[in-house]
Amino acid sequence: MTSTDLPAELREHAARIRDCAQEYGLDFCEVIFEVLPFDVMNQIAAYQGFPIRYPHWRWGMEYAKLSKRDAYGMGRIYEMVINTDPVYAYLQESNSVTDQKLVMAHVYGHADFFKNNFWFSRTNRRMLDEMANHATRVRRHMDRHGAERVERFIDTCLSLESLIDPHGQFIQRPGAEGSARAARPDEPDAFEPRRLPAKGYMDPFINPAAEMERQRQAHEERLRSERGRFPEQPTRDVLGFLIHHAPVEDWQRDILSIVREEALYFAPQAMTKIMNEGWASYWHSTLMTRHFLEDSEIVQYADQHSGVVHMPPGGFNPYKIGLELWKDIERRWDRGHHGRSWESLDTLGAREAYDDGSMSGREKIFQVRRVYNDVTFIEEFFTEEFCDRLRFYQSRRDPQNGGERIATRDFQRVKQTLLHHLTNRGEPFIAVADANYMNRGELYLAHQWTGLEVEAARAEQVLAAINTVWGRPVHLQMRMRDSAWLLTCAEPGAEVKRERVTDMTPMPVHVF
């Protein structure tokens, strides 16, 4: 078997790059590099960076796709890195020494981001062992219940893996005692009507008794209607809800928990793709150009780096956008291009010339790296000046020739389009609204409108999968093309019924 250890030359480069990165202030767990041939690299890439996963046909399909991409010269994998402690990083055996140095510097940037960004703080750093444990459990279920039956159920669960709440693990929710107390209107001070400020003699006119009584009755009616609702509040963690409440066998509940645990592990990577790749690209660029690039390597490095950050017309490259945003933040905070003093300047020339010599850019980017995700990152730092300087635009497909055309360069539209695709990882917000709809044990899901429509064809597939797990009819209230629709899957294999809804009053939930 071929050794995966680093050759002596690469070990020396890795040690020097590690020491230099730490001098810049990067803080990371131990990084273990392994050199792999392209076929092994494709196998691990098909497993999403892990050397072992539970048995399922999806991994074989992914491996076939990656192998064909390599064979036809459509792209190759230079490195992979996984968020564990220690961090494992895989280098492509055919890379040149220049490429390997670039990749190692890039990996140390990722390792620092994994350890220090808040959104990775709840991930399982022992996921390498956990993935192996998942594989063992699934194989045990296959031995007991049949490989085909278990694999079909995994197919069903994978249709639901996006129905998680990645923010849920960061929220401290009130305990059952607090919820029960709030639900008892007969307790003293359980409800106080909303009163407008008024002097004593004017209070009966400003806050008439009839209005106070109306508010009290409305409150009590709401409590009566909610007392029998389950769950009490809509829950976005649909997969977690099914694990706890669906009438499934123990082995099926275990499969659901495996899929959910792995989905939660990968969620922060989707939530920080622009920041994470931009941060790693910033540091490979800084370390290589200032410290580790030999004169003879400049052309090769420039060719590889330009390939990493290239953004084709109409495309989306998180490496490019992230790198440019980190550089822009550092430049702005080095020169004081933020805050009230700078914003008070009334001409573009004056703003561009302004420099207070504060040189706090490096400190600022380390602060931002700690607490932001892609949505908040774009919301705060994707400025109109940045958009104009980088010449961002929104494109559309030309119906005549199928090519990409510039639709607009309007800053607000460009920014909102970016945020639209990043919010909730581009997925619509779906929540369990009622698990005993019409008192028949049916599951009622609701779509929270935030600008992201539900794709009808995919919704039907997901409803069918939930119906298989729940064992009772499943409904989805959703918005599509400015209309309200109710989708219903009554039983496994049945056609999903679509019904346009004009009166939303009977719905169990409207806003959450």
398 and 457 part of one domain: no
Which of 365, 392, 423 is the last residue before a domain boundary? 423
Rounded Cα–Cα distance for residues 218 and 196 (Å): 18
Query: Which residues does residue 395 pair with via DSSP β-bridges, in sequence order?
Result: 406
∠ CA 433-438-443 to the nearest 5 degrees? 40
Give the single-character DSSP code of 292: I
pLDDT confidence of residue 405? 80
Q: What share of the chain is helix, strand, coil (3-state, %, to 5)?
A: 55, 10, 35
Sequence-distant (≥ 6) Cβ neighbours of residue 245 within 8 angstroms: 435
Sequence-distant (≥ 6) Cβ neighbours of residue 484 within 8 angstroms: 477, 478, 500, 501, 502, 504
pLDDT confidence of residue 224? 59
Rounded Cα–Cα distance for residues 242 and 462 (Å): 13
pLDDT digits (tens, 9 = 90+) for 302-320: 999 998 998 887 778 999 9
Give the single-character DSSP code of 314: T
pLDDT confidence of residue 98? 94
Instruction: Examine residue 125 and state whether it is found in any structural domain, yes or no.
Output: no
Burial of 351 from C-beta contacts in 10 A (0-12 / 13-18 / 19+):
middle
Instruction: Examine residue 452 and state whether it is found in any structural domain, yes or no.
Output: yes
Going by C-alpha positions, the residue among 430, 479, 79 that lies closest to residue 239 is: 430
463 and 370 part of one domain: no
378 and 480 part of one domain: no
Is the model's pLDDT at 25 over the cut of 80?
yes
Instruction: Examine residue 412 and state whether it is found in any structural domain, yes or no.
Output: yes
Decide the pairing of beta strands 87-92 and 429-437.
unpaired
398 and 432 part of one domain: no
pLDDT digits (tens, 9 = 90+) for 115-145: 999 999 999 999 999 999 999 999 999 999 9
pLDDT confidence of residue 176? 37
Instruction: Examine residue 145 and state whether it is found in any structural domain, yes or no.
Output: no
| 109-113, 414-418, 424-428, 474-478: range with highest mean pLDDT | 109-113
Longest dimension (CA), the chain: 92
Domain that holds residue 451: 428-501
285 and 359 part of one domain: no
Q: Which two tokens stand for residue 360?
A: 């706090």
Number of domains composing the chain: 3
Q: Which runs of consecutive H residues, i.e. helices, occur in 190-235?
A: 203-206, 209-227
Is the model's pLDDT at 2 over the cut of 60?
no
Instruction: Examine residue 191 and state whether it is found in any structural domain, yes or no.
Output: no
Which of 223, 257, 292 is the last residue before a domain boundary? 292
Going by C-alpha positions, the residue among 231, 55, 245, 209 that lies closest to residue 132 is: 55
411 and 335 part of one domain: yes
Instruction: Examine residue 206 and state whether it is found in any structural domain, yes or no.
Output: no
pLDDT confidence of residue 222? 66
> Residue 277: in which H helix or E strand, if any?
helix 273-287
Q: Report whether the peptide linkage leading into residue 231 is cis, meaning its omega lies within 30 degrees of zero.
A: yes
Burial of 345 from C-beta contacts in 10 A (0-12 / 13-18 / 19+):
middle
405 and 484 part of one domain: no
Rounded Cα–Cα distance for residues 92 and 297 (Å): 18
Rounded Cα–Cα distance for residues 265 and 169 (Å): 11
Rounded Cα–Cα distance for residues 452 and 427 (Å): 7
Instruction: Examine residue 234 and state whether it is found in any structural domain, yes or no.
Output: no
392 and 437 part of one domain: no
405 and 436 part of one domain: no
**More reliable by pLDDT, 168 or 321:** 321
Give the single-character DSSP code of 347: S
Decide the pairing of beta strands 31-36 and 87-92.
parallel
Instruction: Please list, residue by residue across 292-325, b when 16 or more beta carbons sit within 10 angstroms of its beta carbon and e when fewer do.
Output: bbeeebeebbeebbeebbeeeeeeebbbbbbbbb
Instruction: Examine residue 316 and state whether it is found in any structural domain, yes or no.
Output: yes
**Could you tell me if 22 and 240 are in contact, meaning their C-beta atoms sit under 8 angstroms apart?**
no
State the Rg of the chain over Cα: 27
pLDDT digits (tens, 9 = 90+) for 81-92: 999 999 999 999
pLDDT confidence of residue 374? 95
